Amino acid sequence: MMWFDTPWQWVMLWAALIFGLSYLYVNGRLIRFSDQAGHRSLHQGSVLTGGGFLIFLPLSLVMFSSGWYLPAAMLMVLTVVGLLDDIYALSAALRLFVQLAVVLLTLGYMGFDSSLWGLFMAVSFLWWLNLFNFMDGANGLVAMHAIVTLGLPLIMYDMPIALNPVVVFSLVALFVYLYFNVGLKCLFMGDSGSLPLAYLIGLLMLVMMNAGSLNLIQVLLMHAVLIIDSSLTLLNRLFRGEPIMQAHRSHLYQRLISQITHHWPVSLAYAALTAVCCIIAYMIGDYSLTSQLLWFFGVNTFLMLVFFHCRRIGR
């Protein structure tokens, strides 16, 4: 009789592995990395960070075994660099250099060239990595966003078979992480989690765009909630003459949490809005370009109105 002869057995083994590593890490059985929360953070005191390392280093091996050799290497690079940044606070220039190298190598691997479209995709991917990192300040927020934007495409679209195990294992690991992050409030992802998770989502979007399952309008719609919060917050800080590279609590999700003290309702609300955006993106897949653009501008206009309506909250 063979052990692990069905996919579900491998999924259960994977869940047990991530849970076991997280449990040992939280309880001090493994080397631990802590970070002191600043006055602009939504957390207080010393927080246990580096949770992403427990997920994405093993996941890079899963990607490698699935034949995604270069993306697996890039995922590992971002995980290690993110962990080093969690520990030593690397310079912004070094982080940007590594991210740019990862983006260019990935786009080359995916068949993008040095045309204007390729340049646009490089800038967009680089912005996405940083945008996602900016939004990783509340318990469960980016993990729930990832569960929605990785899980719904798995259900609604045809995905390359080789990528299915990576997505499924990612979802399982994120649910385990939420138990420790939102449930127990004892483990945080850190840059070792937010950067590779952003990369994984971006990679999935690129793969599905190349396969013709998604277009750019649909991708932007799926992630509109995070894009609007992060981008409008940045523009607002520029307009007010505030330093954009300095840590702050200006994001709408941060200001909402400061009013209700709990993280999970805001994270869940963001995930629910993202789910609606994903369903709309799927719904308009067969629409004409004009109709898709009307839906795109309609959804983003609504989100911008919500953002500006809430502009005084928490200030």
Radius of gyration of the CA atoms of the chain, in A? 19
Joined together, the tokens standing for residue 105 give 């190598």
Residue 276: how many other CB atoms lie within 10 Å: 15
Q: Coil, helix or strand for 32?
A: coil
Joined together, the tokens standing for residue 226 give 């995070």
Measure the CA angle with vertex 198, ends 240 and 304; round to 5°.
40
Q: Say if residue 191 carries a ligand binding annotation.
A: yes
Joined together, the tokens standing for residue 24 give 């040992």
Q: Could you tell me if residue 298 is left (phi over 0), alpha (psi between -120 and 50 degrees) or otherwise beta?
A: alpha
Q: Say if residue 5 carries a ligand binding annotation.
A: no
Q: Is 157 exposed, middle or buried (0-12, 13-18, 19+ CB in 10 A)?
A: middle
Distance CA 98, CA 95 (A): 5
Joined together, the tokens standing for residue 2 give 């063979």
Any idea what DSSP says for residue 183?
I
Q: Which residues are annotated as a binding site for Mg(2+)?
A: 133, 191
Q: Which residues are annotated as a binding site?
A: 133, 191
